[in-house]
Amino acid sequence: MREMNRGLAVFSLTLAWFLAGFVGCGAETVTANAVTEVEVRPQIAYRAEGEVSGPDCQLDLYIPKSSSRPFPLVIWVHGGGLTGGDKAEPPSVAVCRMLAQNGIGVASVNYRRNPKVQFPTYIEDVAAAVAWVEANAKKYGGNSERIYLSGHSAGAYLVTMLTMNPKYLEKAGFNMSHLVGVIPISGQVTTHFTIKKERGIDANTVISDAAAPTYFVRKQVPDMLLILGDRDWAARLEENAYFAACLKAAGAQNVTLRVIADRDHGTIFGKLSEPNDPGGNLILQFIREREARAGVSSGT
């Protein structure tokens, strides 16, 4: 009991320290690029023929047609608790279009989910999609060496797992040096509750094992921007604050946590595509800064 209370105290102090500085923090106003024409290439199979077929292993490409040079690419992964969700849902489509209208290509990914499959199949599916994008980026005008990962909720969990445990992407044939940055939005960073259910473990039991991003904390990680709403579930806020603090303690100074005011678990995602949304601005700013730093363009 003493250890439990001690752990809760650490969580509370960590959360308070982070939120004191970051609640209400948004990006500066970001000027949208004059890229308005977006081409959508839907239902592209990302796994090898004969491996897995069907809509669960397909992606949609959002291509900024007015871009005059190879554009960076975001792999966007939808949420749904690892049991539901789809890339065709309106909020995901809106986010993908917003990014593409700002000169950033997007691959919006479907993946197999529980109860059809269990851990780690959904992680492996997304890894295969990322590797497909890297291998095919040039064909569609993208820069295969400038790849970002992002997603909401379960999608954020999946991209964070790929980042923190590189074995999935490496096994899929992806070059980790091409992963520029990661933007998880309201993701779980301890062992996901659906995975605990698969194992017969109570959802309220906090676990950090090989199915948890926190299990793989280390110094060398890609640039990471964690985005949450201040009205998200308390546990989600706490674990992300703890995750960021652990990464910084390990020496990873390229990790940033931003908590947006007046956003809950749904609206932090649902409002991203709205003009001058703080979360949407943060994503655009994060990508543009890194593209400018590398001397490449994220727009026209």
Kindly report, residue by residue over 136-169, the tens digit of the pLDDT: 999 999 999 999 999 999 999 999 999 999 999 9
The pair of three-digit structure tokens given for residue 141, joined into one six-digit string: 């005008």
Torsion angle of the four alpha carbons 171, 172, 176, 179, in this order, in degrees rounded to the nearest 10: -150
Q: Residue 226: helix, strand or coil by DSSP? A: strand
Bond preceding residue 120 cis, omega within 30 of 0: yes
Place of tokens 């700002």: 102
Strands of the sheet with 255-260, listed across from one edge:
38-45, 58-64, 105-109, 71-77, 142-152, 179-185, 223-229, 255-260
pLDDT, tens digit, 9 for 90 and up, residues 91-133: 999 999 999 999 999 999 999 999 999 999 999 999 999 999 9
Q: Confidence class of residue 33 from pLDDT cuts 50, 70 and 90?
A: low
Q: What is the pLDDT at residue 4?
A: 41
Q: Which of 81, 27, 76 is nearest to 265 (CA)?
A: 81
Mean local confidence (pLDDT), 250-257: 98
CA within 13 Å, CB half, 65? 6
pLDDT, tens digit, 9 for 90 and up, residues 59-77: 999 999 987 799 999 999 9
Residue 300 has pLDDT above 90, yes or no: no
Average pLDDT, the chain: 91
64 contacts 38 by C-beta, under 8 angstroms = yes
Distance (Å, whole) CA 167 – CA 127: 10
Which of the residue ranges 15-19, 24-28, 40-44, 268-272 would you say has the lowest mean pLDDT? Answer: 24-28
Domains of the chain: 31-293 (3.40.50.1820)
67 contacts 142 by C-beta, under 8 angstroms = no
Integer angstrom CA distances of residue 267 from 65, 153, 185, 280: 29, 12, 11, 12
Distant-in-sequence contacts of 251-257, Cβ < 8 A, 24+ apart: 251/219, 252/217, 252/218, 252/219, 252/220, 252/221, 252/224, 254/221, 254/222, 254/223, 254/224, 255/221, 255/223, 255/224, 255/226, 256/224, 256/225, 256/226, 257/18, 257/22, 257/226, 257/228
Q: Output the pTM of the full model.
A: 0.91
pLDDT, tens digit, 9 for 90 and up, residues 184-219: 999 999 999 999 999 999 999 999 999 999 999 999
Mean local confidence (pLDDT), 30-36: 55
Q: What is the pLDDT at residue 16?
A: 53
